[in-house]
Amino acid sequence: MEVVGYIFRLLSSQKDPYSVPYFVVQYFFIVVAPVFFSAAIYTIITVMIDKVGRQYAPLPPKLILWGFILCDVVATIVQIVGAALVGSAYSNRRNPTIPNNILLAGLAFQVFSFALFILCLFVFLRKSRKVTTSIFKAFAAAVFTATIAVYLRTCFRLAETAQGLMQALSTHEVFFGCLEFLPVVVAVYIFVPWHPGRWLGSSRSEGKAFPATPVA
């Protein structure tokens, strides 16, 4: 999805950056792709909670999983609608303020909900630190780093939209590449050595990454 999004981003730069078809397609694929990765992170956290102990989590695992997935779905739909209206407004030479505010609302909600998730993750890791092994802590650090990377690209999107189109953040591709694309790449490749299936899903991870009995 990222590749498709960037292909259309390149095509739009050659023709018209706000051509509705190109703008909507590139925005849809680039925005939606990290949402699936966020859902994967939510899933990883619920598995970690189930293995370590639900008493250490601030919320039930299923509520964390489906609650934050629902928040991302709502935020993404609002963003896509706003982006489509922004592209239409620029193509038809209309005032894009209201569409941009719709897009901004979707991003603000996503930043807020993801911040709540990071808080839940931090509370869980802090409460469980005395009952987990060093291997688990290393895996948790990898997950936390990937989470912050995904959050960084969401914050950049919010800042870019809040500043407005045709401003510095939206007209200099270096910002987009370093603060949108690169964080997603970092988040993805963290899980090459720290693949959750290797550290959470296999039987050989039992007793190695997690203690057999909780330590007081």
User: Does 175 map to a domain?
Assistant: yes
User: Does 214 map to a domain?
Assistant: no
Reference 157, options 107, 99, 117; nearest CA is 107
- pLDDT of 205 reads 45
Give the span between the Cα atoms of 82 and 104, in whole angstroms.
Answer: 8
Asked whether the beta carbons of 117 and 68 are under 8 A apart, the reply is yes
Predicted TM-score (pTM) of the model is 0.83
User: Does 210 map to a domain?
Assistant: no
- The pLDDT profile of the chain, 216 residues, written as one tens digit per residue, is 888 988 988 888 887 776 777 877 887 888 888 889 999 999 999 999 998 999 999 999 999 999 999 999 999 899 888 877 877 776 677 777 788 788 889 989 999 999 999 999 999 999 998 888 888 999 999 999 999 999 999 999 888 888 876 678 877 888 888 888 899 999 999 999 999 888 886 544 444 445 444 443
User: Does 211 map to a domain?
Assistant: no
Asked whether the beta carbons of 97 and 26 are under 8 A apart, the reply is no
* Domain of 22, in residue numbers: 2-205
User: Does 213 map to a domain?
Assistant: no
Phi-psi region of 43 (alpha: psi -120 to 50; beta: other; left: phi over 0): alpha
- pLDDT of 72 reads 92
User: Does 99 map to a domain?
Assistant: yes
Instruction: Write the DSSP symbol of residue 205.
Output: G
Give the span between the Cα atoms of 24 and 67, in whole angstroms.
Answer: 27
Using CA atoms, how far residue 23 sits from 19, 28, 71, 125, 196, in Å, is: 6, 8, 24, 40, 34
User: Does 212 map to a domain?
Assistant: no
Asked whether the beta carbons of 136 and 56 are under 8 A apart, the reply is no
- pLDDT of 59 reads 92
Q: Which helix (H) or strand (E) holds 155?
A: helix 134-163
| Burial of residue 149 (number of CB atoms within 10 Å: 0-12, 13-18, 19+) | buried
User: Does 216 map to a domain?
Assistant: no
Q: Domain tally for the chain?
A: 1
